[in-house]
Amino acid sequence: MRRDSKLSGVLHVLLHMAEIEGPVTSEFLAGVMQTNPVVVRRIMAGLRDRGYVRSEKGHGGGWQIACDFETVTLRDIYEALGAPELFAMGNRSEAPGCLVEQAVNAAMNQTFREAEALLLAQLGRITLAALSADFHARLAARGGDFNPGTAHAV
């Protein structure tokens, strides 16, 4: 299975949007992410439904951030995406009649539930502002300037 990169992708988009004044088109964001505008609209739909971003049609339209980076966490974004499956491993069958399989499932499920709880707690501790601050620290460390429109040309 290919690994789901929607969370990674949408965070990338959000941090770029934060560097840009005014609305940004799906077309532009698709260029930044090296993908298709429809893919951008798809992953942004969930965020729009939750009010984290706003979209406008027509001339001068596009996407804009509509939330406070200080309070929205990666967990919020993850859930806005529909809380996609976190683990690549699962049980062969979910409601087996075989007692052996029930025992196996019980052990695996508990283990993965605990890992999921940790994962979500950790994501809940990282705000978009913290991510953005990390980006700016990296930018300062490199001593460079950031042009959001050309940063991906390389």
Rounded CA gap, 34 and 116, in Å?
30
- Window of 20-28, 39-47, 51-59, 133-141 that interacts with a copy of itself by CB under 8 A: 133-141
**Which strand (E) or helix (H) includes residue 30?**
helix 26-33
Whether the CB-CB separation of 101 and 90 falls below 8 Å is answered with: no
Q: Which residues bind DNA (CB under 7 A)?
A: 1-6, 9, 24-27, 35-39, 41-42, 44-45, 48, 55-63, 84-85
**CB 66 within 8 Å of CB 53:** yes
User: Which residues of the chain form contacts with a copy of itself (CB under 8 A)?
Assistant: 1-9, 11-12, 15-16, 19, 33, 74, 84-92, 97-108, 111-112, 114-116, 118-119, 122-123, 126, 130-132, 134-135, 138-139, 142, 146, 151-152, 154
